[in-house]
Amino acid sequence: MSNYMPQTARLAQKILDIVPGEGMHLTPIPGVGLYRADSKTQCVPTLYEPCLVIVLQGAKRGYFNGKPFDYNPSTFLTFTLPIPVESEIVEASPDRPFVGMGVKLEPAEISDILLQIDEDSLPPMNEDSVISASPLTGQMLDALDRLFASFDSPSDARVLGNMARRELIYRTILSPQGGTLRAGFNRHSHFRQIGDLMRDILQDPARPLTTEEMCQQVGMSKSSLHESFKSVTAMSPLQYVKSIRLHQARAHMLNDGLPASTAGFQVGYASPSQFSREFKRMFGVPPSRVAELG
């Protein structure tokens, strides 16, 4: 149990005061989002872009490559690369909602912060996992306090809020998770090569991509590319492309209100029937019932 539970409870209440209802909510600070859920959820496929995730109340469980990992108020998680997982909220109620937040991680900013830290202070690079967890620290919670306090003023949010957001990333880099971040964003890392390709796929999922083109982009043989993707994502390269397309289509329907046929076309599906079939295979419901996924 964390020694900081009273502080996390107070910060959770701050979010509840800010967020009027369930779902993801943007904040005045770019790259920072707040999330609330008043009840448990079923386990569904979820796409995480590179981000820092902090849960302040309730609990969530994720599954990657058959292994579970937990989100709770005693730890924070880092997702180094865009990765599809399965997740479910396992602790939430109207009286005590699940409350969390996410901070987007940008390669340029990570690289900039790394350049300003003495090499001897950094944890060694680690390519073992794209998902890692560490205990929350008092310094991170103090930065969160300043971050939330900045929301009341646009100028505070631009200056002080961004400073607090950057401090959270800095503290993450210095934590045991920093080794994974270093590997994911270091220009000379093998992990970074795969990560750049994954980010490109996320940016433009509709772009036709063959295995040969992906090999050429990262300078690997087919067998090396396949092995690297399997180790990072638990998928083959083409399975990863398909997963990203389906997740992006789901987001277009949920967030932008696009009909299924348009959403499928925008992510590269020429055949509506193929899109519907593969969407149902991944999410368990046809695109017409996407609202059930929340």
Tell me, what's the pLDDT at 2? 54
Tell me, what's the pLDDT at 149? 95
Q: What is the pLDDT of residues 191-238, one digit of tens each?
A: 778 888 999 999 999 998 899 999 998 889 999 999 888 888 888 999
Q: What is the pLDDT of residues 57-81, one digit of tens each?
A: 999 999 998 889 999 998 899 998 8
* CA distance readout (Å), 56 to 6, 148, 238: 10, 13, 36
Place of tokens 């990863």: 240
Q: What is the layout of strands, in order, in the sheet containing 83-91?
A: 44-48, 83-91, 59-64, 67-71
Tell me which amino acid residue 251 is.
Answer: A
Looking at domain 190-293, which of 1.20.1740.10, 1.10.10.60, 3.10.310.30, 1.20.1050.90 is its CATH number?
A: 1.10.10.60
Q: How far is CA 269 from the centre of its chain?
A: 25
Q: What is the pLDDT of residues 87-132, one digit of tens each?
A: 999 999 999 999 999 999 998 899 899 889 988 888 887 777 788 8
Provide the residue ranges of all domains of the chain, joining segments of one domain with +.
Answer: 5-185, 190-293
Tell me, what's the pLDDT at 188? 67
Q: Are strands 51-57 and 75-79 parallel, antiparallel or unpaired?
A: antiparallel
DSSP code at position 124: P
Higher pLDDT among residues 181 and 47, named by residue? 47
Q: Is the dihedral of CA 147, 149, 152, 153 positive or negative?
A: negative
Q: What is the pLDDT of residues 259-280, one digit of tens each?
A: 998 999 999 999 999 999 999 9
Q: What is the pTM of this model?
A: 0.86
Tell me, what's the pLDDT at 134? 86
Q: In whole angstroms, what is the distance from residue 246 CA to residue 199 CA?
A: 16
Q: 5-185 and 190-293 share one CATH topology?
A: no
- Is CATH 2.60.120.280 what the domain over 5-185 is classified as, yes or no? yes
Tell me the pLDDT band of 1, cut-offs 50, 70 and 90.
very low
Tell me, what's the pLDDT at 231? 83
Higher pLDDT among residues 292 and 210, named by residue? 210
Token couple for 47: 């796409």
For every residue of 59-96, DSSP letters joined together read EEEEEETTEEEEE-TTEEEEE-S-EEEEEEEEE--SSS
Tell me, what's the pLDDT at 3? 64
Tell me, what's the pLDDT at 159? 96
pLDDT of 184 over the 90 cut: no
Q: What are phi and psi of 239, to 5 degrees?
A: -65, -40
Q: What is the pLDDT of residues 19-60, one digit of tens each?
A: 989 999 999 999 999 999 999 998 888 899 999 999 999 999
Determine the 3-state secondary structure of 36 from DSSP: strand
For every residue of 138-185, DSSP letters joined together read HHHHHHHHHHHHGGG-HHHIIIIIHHHHHHHHHHHHHSTTHHHHHHHH
C-beta separation of 94 from 39 below 8 A: yes
